[in-house]
Amino acid sequence: MQKQPSSRTCFLCGRQNNTGLKISWYNDPQAALVRAKVVVPQQFNGYPGFVHGGIIAALLDETSGRAIMIDGDHDNLMVTTRLEVKYLLPTPTEHELALIGWQIKGNKRHAHVAAEIQLDDGTVTARCKATVVKPPSKYYELWKWESEKEHWRIYED
């Protein structure tokens, strides 16, 4: 599987974010999936022992959005315009979770994507469907993308 790039400051993948989760995603082109593993620390709970719903939504948002890069086009960055999350079961903290995302349909300008969180036995605790779009070029200037782009790369584990 091919590793996807990470950023410098992102809460989920940022390598220099001291409070972040530092997740690495991998393309599985044969299965048309993007995959990651994460252990969410207790400090991100809602109720003791269970991941906060907002963190679950963030995990699903990022994983589904990364599904557009399964083909290896890591510069095809999009932003979420719609996210529908279904919380099926409490998601435990301090346990390894599998994050799995896929593209339902789309092109270089917009896509419908989905993701789910699984326990080690395959039980799905939450899933989402999302719509992602290519942002207008003015947003790249607001994000200072040209100076940050060098930090959007594949980091060694």
Q: In CATH, what number is assigned to the domain containing residue 57?
A: 3.10.129.10
Going by DSSP bridges, is the β-strand pair 25-28/2-3 parallel, antiparallel, or unpaired?
A: antiparallel
Contact 36, 64 (CB under 8 A): no
- Number of separate domains in the chain: 1
Contact 5, 77 (CB under 8 A): no
Contact 55, 42 (CB under 8 A): no
What's the pLDDT band for 1 if we cut at 50, 70, 90? confident
Does the residue 55 lie in any domain?
A: yes
For residue 14, the number of C-alpha atoms closer than 13 Å in the C-beta half-sphere is 11
Does the residue 156 lie in any domain?
A: no
Integer Cα distance of 74 and 58 in angstroms: 20
Domain that holds residue 78: 2-147
Does the residue 154 lie in any domain?
A: no
Does the residue 33 lie in any domain?
A: yes
- Which has more confidence, 60 or 137? 60
Integer Cα distance of 119 and 98 in angstroms: 6
Integer Cα distance of 58 and 26 in angstroms: 18
- As to burial, measured by CB atoms within 10 angstroms (0-12 exposed, 13-18 middle, 19+ buried), residue 18 is exposed
- Which has more confidence, 137 or 107? 107
For the segment 97-120, what is each residue's pLDDT rounded down to a tens digit? 999 999 999 998 999 999 999 999
| pLDDT higher than 70, residue 143 | no
Nearest to 39 by CA among 57, 26, 23: 23
For the segment 114-129, what is each residue's pLDDT rounded down to a tens digit? 999 999 999 999 999 9
What does the pLDDT average to over 75-103?
96
| pLDDT > 90 fraction of the chain, expressed in percent and rounded | 78
Does the residue 155 lie in any domain?
A: no
Does the residue 153 lie in any domain?
A: no
| pLDDT higher than 70, residue 132 | yes
For the segment 52-70, what is each residue's pLDDT rounded down to a tens digit? 999 999 999 999 999 999 9
Which of these ranges, 38-42, 71-75, 100-104, 119-123, has the smallest mean pLDDT? Answer: 71-75
Does the residue 103 lie in any domain?
A: yes
Does the residue 87 lie in any domain?
A: yes
Nearest to 40 by CA among 52, 32, 27, 25: 52
Question: For the whole model, what pTM was predicted?
Answer: 0.94
